[in-house]
Structure 1
Amino acid sequence: MELAERLSYYGINQGLKNFMQKIGWSLVSASALKSTWTSICYLTPLFGAYLADERWGRFRTILTFGIWYCVGDFLVAIAAYPTIMSNSAVVNPIFIIGLFVGIGIGTGAIKSNVITLGADQFDPHDPSEVHQKETYFSYFYFCINLGSGVSYGYLSILCVDGSAQIPAEYGYFATYMICACVMAFAIAM
């Protein structure tokens, strides 16, 4: 789940200001919106932690907000479809709702729970599981870095330049759709 979530988050984050400028936002507005979105993403883990600890439990919180996040990913991808991008009256509400309400809240709500749910599976009093827990954290952070590496490597080029099979005007759509599909696959697993 973490690899998919980080690939999705960074896949959208890496080209966000350029995409916002492409749909008509000024550089100043795009920068302000990106900063506001990042703030929401890093404040909402408190909300997710509260829900998991006091109301729903970690698994239900992760599943619910993983789906919520995925819906936001698909809305952002739809907003990046070239014919929709050309209509500011349509693209802006879809994009803002997907980005702020879907991804902003979704990523934060699961961020504080994924690593903890995994760590909860180990018995701290069993010596054989202590080493497994240490290994778990290494693999967990490897997954974070793999997701961000793919996003800032391949997806950052795809969104601007396209690829041999994807024309440049579909670059943002393809990038954001990859993010949404990877997240949907992780939830389905």
Structure 2
Amino acid sequence: MTAVTADKSDRAFIGHPKGLGYLAFTEAWERFSYYGMQSLLVLYMTKQLLLTPHVENIGGYSVFHGFIEWLYHPGASTQATASAIFGLYTSLVYFTPFFGGLLADNVLGKTRTVILGAVLMAAGHFLMAFDQSFLLALACLMLGTGCFKGNIAGQVSSLYPDGDLRRADAFQIFYLGINAGVIAAPLIAGTLGEKVGWHYGFGVAGVGMLLALVIYLFGRRHLPMDPPRKAQVGMGADAPAKPTMSARDWRTIGLLVLLLPVLTASVLCNQQIFNAYLSWADTAVNLEFNGEKVPTTWLITLDAIVSVSFLAGMVVFWRVWKTRFKEPDELGKLTIGTGISVLGVLCLAAGAAQAAATGTKVDILWCVGFHVLNSIAFANMLPVSLALYARAAPKAAQASIIGIYYLHLFAGNQTVGILGGLLEKMPATQFWLMHAAIAGGAFVVFLLVGRVFARLLHTDQVGGGPAPVAP
């Protein structure tokens, strides 16, 4: 394979390198498969898999269930068990990219690791079609995502030479690809799963992953060469040495690690959407239109549509804003986004309180308000933080640092799994107020220390720092 090098003159894909187009479409189909499966997971477990006679068919479930009860909720109900499994699975999905980064940096390189991840994920989706292989399917999906997720994001960053300000816009385009997949996933996989059969939904998710792999393989020649790995060093006199780590690099890594707990608290409201939020909405929210209840998973499509709109809208907003005012840096935008996420989850608390007072179901408009505010928050949080870690990471450990970045989502989803089990033990109003309080704490911490981190993390930034949502 002949791979390209980062080239500032390559503008073949809407002003960006051609490789970005292949990576964005690969990620769109990969996210279609991932979110198609994830939008069904909790509903599938609570409505079929964890009930008799299906639960008895799951290979190794008795041992696994004992571990879940020990780790989360002794004597847990079906809903609490499903929430715990969801939390364990989705948290490990964001833990394994650290090892995927090590594998790419030291053994296989990003390209081969991404291919391995895609194959494992496709196998995992198809294995979901059988009760017996449920746990094996989750294991394949976790390992596959670990190989795939961080490394493909690192390849986006590698398309651009140092100082190329298009890198910030590239992550916005990359996230638009993600959201395109998220929009389609519940409409296709979710509807098939809820209306036709759960396994049809999981099967179409597997097809989506195969399409992602085909697109990636077709576009390999447009991606930069992987940097030399340890196994290659010393193979010849002309072999370039692997970049070394300076003292400044280690300080930068330390600062990025210190941000992880705050990032964890800031994302809880967003990460709960696929877990307790779906279970709560399935029974507590009025989802009837023209006398028929629409699939609960369509709320994920609503969230994705709104997210895409505000993701693009925030790019325009910050471009207009900086013509008259100073644009916030990454940590400033993270602070703004976290504050808005608090307002979003307060909509759910208000809707639950109103429904409890009137004895009715929650009006769907409260959910719409939540998704609008949460999407504005998302546009100023996840793409911004990913761009920060990709930019600030030392080149010698970029894939590993992006893997470390995903540890905040590992911790966040673990917390989401634990908190989700409390949904049936407390009023919904209190449940959502609890989430608002946790995110509010993150907002306060960002507000107090953000300025310090912003100054220490300024490296190649221009004019107060690169704006991940507006170059």
* C-alpha displacement of 1:176: 1.1
State the match for 1:19 in structure 2: 44
CA distance in 2, matches of 1:118, 1:184: 21
Match in the other structure for 2:31: 6
User: Which residue of 136, 140, 151 corresponds with 1:97?
Assistant: 136
- CA separation in 1, counterparts of 2:210 and 2:121? 9
Do the aligned partners of 2:29 and 2:212 also contact (CA within 8 Å) in 1?
yes
Which of 109, 122, 141 is the matching residue for 2:160? 122
Secondary structure in 2 aligned to 1:150?
Answer: helix
How far off its partner does 1:10 sit?
0.9
Q: Which amino acid aligns with 1:124?
A: D
Who wins on radius of gyration, i.e. which is larger? 2
Does the Cα contact within 8 Å between 1:73 and 1:179 map onto a contact in 2?
Answer: yes
Among candidates 176, 180, 187, match of residue 202 of structure 2: 176
**1:63 match:** 115
The residue type paired with residue 183 of structure 2 is G
Q: Which residue, out of 30, 36, 43, partners 2:88?
A: 36
What's the counterpart of residue 412 of structure 2? Answer: none
Where is the helix percentage greater, Structure 1 or Structure 2?
1
Q: In structure 2, how many angstroms separate the alpha carbons of the residues matched to 1:153 and 1:186?
A: 18
The residue number in structure 1 matching 2:99 is 47
Shift of 1:132: 4.5
Shift of 1:108: 2.2
Tell me the residue number matched to 1:82. none
Does the Cα contact within 8 Å between 2:116 and 2:147 map onto a contact in 1?
Answer: no
Return the letter of the residue paired with 2:178.
I
Q: CA deviation at 1:28?
A: 2.0
- Once the two structures are TM-superposed, the CA of residue 155 in structure 1 deviates from its matched residue by 3.1
Contact 1:6–1:148 (8 Å) recurs in 2: yes
Deviations 1:47-102 (A, max 9, x none): 111111111110011001111111111111x22xxxxxxxxxxx1x3111011x11
The CA deviation at 1:134 is 3.8
Deviation at residue 133 of structure 1 after TM alignment: 3.3
Amino acid at match of 1:178: V
3-state SS of 1:35 partner: helix
> Which shifted more, 134-143 or 13-22?
134-143
Contact kept in structure 1, 2:100 and 2:147, CA below 8 Å:
yes
Name the SS for the 2:133 alignment partner: helix
Q: Partner amino acid for 1:13?
A: Q
For residue 86 of structure 2, what is the amino acid of its counterpart? K
- Structure-to-structure mapping, 1:81-160, within 5 angstroms: 91=131, 93-99=132-138, 101-124=139-162, 130=164, 132-160=166-194
Distance 1:110 1:188 in 2: 14
Structure 1 regions of 5+ residues with no counterpart? 80-90, 162-167
Shift in Å at residue 33 of structure 1? Answer: 0.8
TM-score normalised by L of structure 2: 0.33
Equivalence for 1:87: none
Which digits, 9 at most, give the CA deviation of each residue in 1:113-169, with x for residues without a partner? 1111122122225xxxx25434432220101111111123443333212xxxxxx2x
One-letter amino acid of the structure 1 residue matched with residue 45 of structure 2: M
SS at match of 2:81: helix
Paired residue secondary structure (1:123): coil
1:178 and 1:154 mapped to 2: Cα distance?
A: 8
Q: How many correspondences in the alignment?
A: 163
Q: In 1, are the aligned partners of 2:189 and 2:205 still within 8 Å (CA)?
A: no
* Secondary structure of 2:161's aligned partner: coil
Question: SS where residue 140 of structure 1 aligns?
Answer: helix
> CA contact under 8 A between 1:4 and 1:186: conserved in structure 2?
yes
Once residues 79 and 120 of structure 2 are traced to their aligned partners in structure 1, the CA distance between those partners, rounded to angstroms, is 29
Higher relative contact order (CA 8 A, sep 6+): 1
Judge conservation of contact 1:5–1:107 (CA < 8 Å) in 2: no
Q: Which amino acid aligns with 2:99?
A: F
Amino acid at match of 1:110: F
Kindly state the Cα deviation for residue 2 of structure 1 after the two structures are TM-superposed: 0.9
- Taking the aligned partners of 1:109 and 1:148, their CA distance within structure 2 comes to 20
Between the aligned residues of both structures, percent identity stands at: 27
SS of structure 2 residue aligned to 1:11: helix
| Residues in 1 aligned to 2:199 and 2:159: alpha-carbon distance in whole angstroms | 38
RMSD, matched Cα: 1.7
1:144 partner letter: I
- For residues 158 and 43 of structure 2, the distance between their equivalents in structure 1, rounded to whole angstroms, comes to 40
Partner of 1:15: helix, strand, or coil? helix
